[in-house]
Amino acid sequence: MPTLAEFRTRVLWAVGVTVSAERGLTDANIDEHIRRAVEEFSLHVPAEVSADILIAGGSRAYATTVLTRPIGVGAVEYHIGQ
């Protein structure tokens, strides 16, 4: 997987700039734009993952306020007798 520095080089090459300072851009500025683009892309084409979330015995509730980014829940399993 490419590093952030490699992405920065690709972005500069794509816009025809060989050195970021030519356009008054800093590496940090370009990196922030790349991070935002990846974040927005991942909201529309998310990576599918699964997770086991442990909650207090007898409870069926999970506070989503602790999440740091939006998620979608595709399925929830509740095993009877456990």
DSSP state of 12: H
Averaged pLDDT, 66-71: 73
User: What is the structure's pLDDT at 32?
Assistant: 92
- pLDDT tens digits, 1-60: 788 889 888 888 888 877 666 667 788 888 998 999 888 887 777 667 777 777 777 667
* Global pTM value: 0.52
| Helix (H), strand (E) at residue 36 | helix 27-44
Dist CA 81 CA 30 (whole Å): 53
Judged against a pLDDT cut of 70, whether residue 68 lies above it is answered with yes
